Structure 1
């Protein structure tokens, strides 16, 4: 072959490679997609995780940016109204139907409204006759058949206003001031999805109907269907149901709004009485980063590698003894609409904004001048490859919810979705060749002076200390001319452990074939329970614990004990300090963290099967070779002290501390964080307590669940768990006598300027613990939650999201608490509390409504089906059953116990456990209402 022919061939190959990089990536072949004649788009994917479930999403290219001035907030209001009546589901019949099918409001069925989109989520069972068709009918009604009854609109005004009220506070007040600047006074600046009080209170029904008819139309809509369904049947149904959707005559143009990039730099400094931190952010805006071609995908990989390395640099800075700030970070990311940013943010220590910001900016300049080291890039690549390799291994077990967002983004933004196998090939093609030069080019492209916004936020008392624009830019310039040195990447080739463990032996083995459990007894007294599953391909979870915890130490020692695991665990283990340990673990999919609770101490984590040996080695290191790092200790204490300096400014923090203190009967172990408590934390004492808690493993029980073979895992268990120390202790946790006080208590905290109230109501007392009674409380919780939503939200329009929670304990004594929480307007608090208490009284005098009991039974059954296929559920369940000394096969009778529950049984139960004599009312009111 001649040189000329070779050159032509080479050019041809280069051109083909270039074309491959710029042509659109193929769409995932596992997805059926199409568009009807009216413009309605659909995506369908068959997926059996979870089995007998399908997730439906209605995606609308309709958001607050499309609102007229008299419609501000109505895109979001419209989202609410689709649940309040439609052609085939008038008024509240939709929620009744879904709840009876086992679908939970909020947790399962939900929706959100953004600036550019409104998205509805509907997961439904597929094993009930007609349920899928019913689900499609719901979506069809949402798309164009909402009834928008004026009475329902008026009822919903209060709900939406209460949702808006929940977001009020210092952060929201400051955001309203700096958002116009960072959005360059574009349309986005004055189209917050939550809207304005004036519009929400006064708009006419015709105004929202106009918005609905103008914008809820098939050429702006898509249906995403992912789940255990027949693709052909679903496609046929979609074509039949959605083909008659109509685009309006003389349809309005769907303007693609954008944030103009003017090239100018901007500055704003703001303070607020209730703000708790001093924050500086430098945001440098650029055109948005698309993801449509292979070249785009390569750019996204480079960006993610850059962000990972930046994160590692800042994490290391924060581990210094005199860490220069509370928190610092920097990343390249998509912001909004047509804009991406390089954004770097520092949360400064009080009075140290200059020091903190300069430390932050110094790293930005160091990156610009010197770039990263090859060892840093190698670790970032290893981590990236490990993550996508794990995703490939899990592709047959990927949940439907994980797929949905890809197709939502494809419809809304044109974001490529080629499928995990194709992405894996792209990563294998591009990742090895990405160089430091590529990373440097990104840094130089994104870190500049144009389109730069500087935002300073602080408490009012820092107002006089905040720099003006000239001073702040002077700080940046002073860093720019510093004689910076390149970053030194300290790495080590030492093994993790300072010495190899001497393996123990399995001395007994017991199999429970009915539960799929193998129980091992090790020579050092450790018990290991194995639960191999096929729920995930690349996941093993584990937890080990033993009785004792912080309860064994005095009140004086309690701060050191409570923080021991956090401090020592953050210091590294074996031959590696924290920073070096992160580097050592690069490219591995694993985690292990020690903990010391009030009644138990232990360690929990997880790993890919290929990395389980390292995870257990790390477990051994944390338990037997902990490190005491003065620098880490000082950094943690310094950051915590700085966070506490202005914490009392925040009304929610003040109220949370009051709730904790009152419910803990003002015991020192239950009061909120304070400088005084911080002073009582001793590194030496924390280390001694940590060593003491893990000095004897003979009472530890480890549980493993996930993708492993019981025989293959045994040598690892013998080596790393069988070698843990055995002192033969027989410890048990101490009863500290701390519980919610008896009697009727009322406490009001007056703090904050916003006209908002936060209410917490507590019923508590002793409890006859049994599986049957715990299930009864579960039923009481959900039935009461349903009624509070119906009454406080739907009927009285007084709240947005009331919640009911139940907590039961068996040890040190059997107790329960039922807690009701909601936010509301201060003037409505008494009325809503009375309504909530009335619903509790109805439980005692009438029992829950049978319709609500049936809804709970359906939800309980459906959730149990899903839980039994989750490694995390089994880990928690087995751990709790062992700690409560309950039968491990209890779950098998839960269905029978729940099915037998009746209105009379729950009425008797409520009457026994919810008397008025043990009732606490706690509330947060604005300070101007103080008597």
Structure 2
């Protein structure tokens, strides 16, 4: 029942990246005189070849034996002619379909055999003004590492563009457009972009292009785009990783130095967005869109942050965004707001779509079409309240504490910064010219600015944000509401009348401790070591077990999770709906602190803790810097012993969820998901979606009592802690807050309620939607002999089958964009496995492509895997585990799973041994066992007509 409002991608986002944010042109003119240029980090070598290619090189050991290589191009769909619309993106695709040194699919095959996964690791994207290729690659193989630069150079200037490959790729891109689009969102976007981007080339050059051009362009158009724009003076190579920088510089010169620019290069234009003197208003409806939402945007000219004064402006803007988010959350929690969801943000216009523009953006979602104007006005009232009266000193203090804590935490991790984070900084520097300061400079400047910025300065900036300038108003709603929506005049009036009668905000901060007194501490009664994996196992006097794995992977991180058996399985079917709010209780606050007060109380702390209640278990998860671990443990204790019962929040959440349920039926995807879930749970009463009317049967009292019962006995809880700590030093904290948890040692277990998929061969076809778009899911499933060896073989079967399905459906049939083969296996409550094949496609191709996919299933059952495919699987698996073993999150999830399922926690040490047992024959045996089709579920979504 967790709320999940599907506010569209155009919704605003707060700005927290102070180093890359635009500031308005007027402010920028002042900043140039008031601030200093930010010096580039000396840790990165920036150079330029004689042909104009720029390169960035940085040595970085996180992760070890790995490098991240990027090739960036300052060209995208904006550079296309009328006849080339979509060919910038098409060119990106062709870079993986044959180059001088890697013909046809040899590039992907070569990298997969080296452990680089296509899609997850090896990838690329095309935007309006840029095209970027990414290649994470191991550095412990000299030949592979050298070839990484050869691959980048092949993309940069040596793509072959064979006619047969071009024609084969047309269908793939058509299917990409179908998979990512062909829905309410994409239909509405086509109507909105001419307004949001009015008068600019951006509105005429959407990167996916025009399908009729994709299907019919002449080959020379694509080759000409590549020749014109893929040139070294528009390109950069970025290399960050565990390597010798001198060697890397030599490799860049060797492979990229010979590339040449065209004899008569086309001018490289830049484009912007003109001002609109009159408000732009657009109301868009769609039969499949479920919500009523409005956006107001006030756009300003901007620039790129390069000076200390620019950063100061951005920090102020970030503070305002944070404080406004807190106010809006507080207002929504009270249940009196005229909107069910609202958001305020100041930052890059449309997420930075057009460089040099920023905007104040306000969003509101209403329960009804008639209430949309009031919802938008309600959000604008908060913006006006901010502009007229500013913020309070206590609000600013909270946000400063949080920013300072984040700054400190980031600085403590400076030597553990992952390579990809550096790559993204250098990519922005090349494409936009943003500053790239060193970690020390960044830390010291941020600390200085956070301390210096005054309330007066913040409030002056807040007032500027609400000035009506380049106003655009957007409404999106269901088609059935079209005649009930506010008029353009009513929307404008909502914006312009919002400032009347506004009063100042009153802060409701509290000054009380989270816990009135410390709990009575327990004692450690047993201690054991699992030396093979560096784990210490403690048993506390109240029965709580604690598993501790100290690591040095991060300097400033401790994360934890726990479990105890029971969960919602303790509720009978007849009571299940009544207690279904229980998992939300912890999110409503703690004791007398509501959610807003709790956030303010924790200002400046990195501590977090949350609660979950799943079907079989309940427990806690969270984390903190080492210095804040005590606060995180206090939160655990408080959630367990002093939950908050808030009828106001409860009523709001139920009412909001009724709105979600009432409108969700218009979505084809939701109807399809509901059907799949019904079959997958055998139409279980416990798993079905409630109706809006049935939500009146959800009981706060029963949910609250159920929540308390789940955490009244901690004797079954097992906690796992991973991170930078010393076992002896944190023992007193564990004894106090975990050892002090109540426990009556009732030895509670979960109840197997028998929720399983329908057995046998089942087919369901959902007919809903108006687009020529089908979705297919094929499930093979059944009872399972759960064991690490079997899990490995089943994973190998899944990965290798995905290789074959991708080759068949995408490369040979050109009928899909990104088919997926997934696998899951679980031990509790009864061992079960499921392997699924999923894809989207044209409606007319459903049967043909299902037959092709099942043909690949039969082939792998008959012939097993090829030696090459087994080699690819093993290489990807080995590379993946090498990285995972140096990550705290991996160890936390791994250890929780092993202890929860009562398995050997040292099993990970035999991973390579199990991997060695994967052979073409073992994959064949697994296919025959798990893909028998005895239990098979075919689920298809097709349009109504």
Shorter chain as denominator, the TM-score bin is over 0.9
- Partner-residue secondary structure (3-state), 1:130: helix
Tell me by how many angstroms 1:673 deviates.
5.0
- Partner-residue secondary structure (3-state), 2:462: helix
Match of 1:500 among 510, 518, 528: 518
- Partner-residue secondary structure (3-state), 2:577: helix
Match of 2:642 among 598, 603, 625: 625
Aligned to 2:446: 427
Tell me by how many angstroms 1:449 deviates.
1.9
The separation in 2 between residues aligned to 1:741 and 1:289, in whole angstroms, is 58
Structure 2 counterparts to residues 445-844 of structure 1, below 5 A: 445-481=464-500, 483-566=501-584, 568-844=585-861
The separation in 1 between residues aligned to 2:337 and 2:690, in whole angstroms, is 21
Match of 2:233 among 208, 219, 223: 219
Aligned to 1:316: 330
Does residue 418 of structure 2 align to residue 405 of structure 1? no
- Partner-residue secondary structure (3-state), 2:611: strand
Tell me by how many angstroms 1:645 deviates.
2.0
The separation in 1 between residues aligned to 2:625 and 2:691, in whole angstroms, is 40
Contact 2:569 2:752 (C-alpha < 8 Å) held by counterparts: yes
Structure 2 counterparts to residues 234-313 of structure 1, below 5 A: 234-313=248-327
Contact 1:570 1:632 (C-alpha < 8 Å) held by counterparts: no
Query: In the TM superposition, what whole-angstrom CA distance separates every residue of 1:382-432 from its partner, at most 9, and x where no partner exists?
Result: 111111211111111111111111000000000111122111111122211
**CA RMSD across the alignment:** 1.3
Query: In the TM superposition, what whole-angstrom CA distance separates every residue of 1:300-338 from its partner, at most 9, and x where no partner exists?
Result: 111111111111111111111344322100111112223
Tell me by how many angstroms 1:479 deviates.
2.4
Aligned to 2:887: 870
Aligned to 2:8: none
Aligned to 1:392: 411
Tell me by how many angstroms 1:596 deviates.
0.2
Does residue 59 of structure 2 align to residue 41 of structure 1? no
Contact 1:20 1:294 (C-alpha < 8 Å) held by counterparts: no
Query: In the TM superposition, what whole-angstrom CA distance separates every residue of 1:812-853 from its partner, at most 9, and x where no partner exists?
Result: 211100011100001111111011111111221111222111
Aligned to 1:440: 459
Contact 2:661 2:692 (C-alpha < 8 Å) held by counterparts: yes
Contact 2:712 2:742 (C-alpha < 8 Å) held by counterparts: yes
Residues 794, 19 of structure 1: alpha-carbon distance in 2 compared, 3 angstrom cutoff = closer
Contact 1:282 1:344 (C-alpha < 8 Å) held by counterparts: yes
Q: Which runs of 5+ in 1 are unaligned?
A: 1-16
787-796 or 507-516: which moved more? Answer: 507-516
- Partner-residue secondary structure (3-state), 2:103: coil
Aligned to 2:126: 113
Aligned to 1:139: 152
The separation in 2 between residues aligned to 1:672 and 1:139, in whole angstroms, is 49
The separation in 1 between residues aligned to 2:693 and 2:485, in whole angstroms, is 28
Tell me by how many angstroms 1:433 deviates.
1.5
- Partner-residue secondary structure (3-state), 1:274: coil
498-507 or 406-415: which moved more? Answer: 498-507
- Partner-residue secondary structure (3-state), 1:288: strand
The separation in 2 between residues aligned to 1:776 and 1:83, in whole angstroms, is 30
Query: In the TM superposition, what whole-angstrom CA distance separates every residue of 1:681-713 from its partner, at most 9, and x where no partner exists?
Result: 210011000000001000110000001111111
Tell me by how many angstroms 1:27 deviates.
0.8
Tell me by how many angstroms 1:677 deviates.
4.7
Tell me by how many angstroms 1:917 deviates.
2.4
- Partner-residue secondary structure (3-state), 1:793: helix
Tell me by how many angstroms 1:185 deviates.
2.5
Residues 562, 419 of structure 1: alpha-carbon distance in 2 compared, 3 angstrom cutoff = farther
Query: In the TM superposition, what whole-angstrom CA distance separates every residue of 1:330-358 from its partner, at most 9, and x where no partner exists?
Result: 11111222311110001111242133222
- Partner-residue secondary structure (3-state), 1:255: coil
Tell me by how many angstroms 1:437 deviates.
2.1
- Partner-residue secondary structure (3-state), 1:747: strand
Query: In the TM superposition, what whole-angstrom CA distance separates every residue of 1:614-659 from its partner, at most 9, and x where no partner exists?
Result: 0000110001111101111112112211222211111111111111
Does residue 97 of structure 2 align to residue 84 of structure 1? yes
Tell me by how many angstroms 1:373 deviates.
0.7
- Partner-residue secondary structure (3-state), 2:555: coil
The separation in 1 between residues aligned to 2:655 and 2:337, in whole angstroms, is 8
651-660 or 571-580: which moved more? Answer: 571-580
- Partner-residue secondary structure (3-state), 1:889: helix
Tell me by how many angstroms 1:445 deviates.
2.1
Contact 1:276 1:459 (C-alpha < 8 Å) held by counterparts: yes
Contact 1:346 1:360 (C-alpha < 8 Å) held by counterparts: yes
Aligned to 1:27: 40
The separation in 2 between residues aligned to 1:542 and 1:244, in whole angstroms, is 52
Query: In the TM superposition, what whole-angstrom CA distance separates every residue of 1:748-806 from its partner, at most 9, and x where no partner exists?
Result: 11111111000010000111111100000110110011111111011111101111111
225-234 or 512-521: which moved more? Answer: 512-521
Contact 1:322 1:638 (C-alpha < 8 Å) held by counterparts: no
Contact 2:519 2:736 (C-alpha < 8 Å) held by counterparts: yes
- TM-score calculated relative to the size of structure 1: 0.96
Aligned to 1:71: 84
Contact 2:520 2:736 (C-alpha < 8 Å) held by counterparts: yes
Query: In the TM superposition, what whole-angstrom CA distance separates every residue of 1:450-474 from its partner, at most 9, and x where no partner exists?
Result: 2000001110111111122212222
142-151 or 313-322: which moved more? Answer: 313-322
The separation in 1 between residues aligned to 2:254 and 2:588, in whole angstroms, is 62
Tell me by how many angstroms 1:676 deviates.
4.4
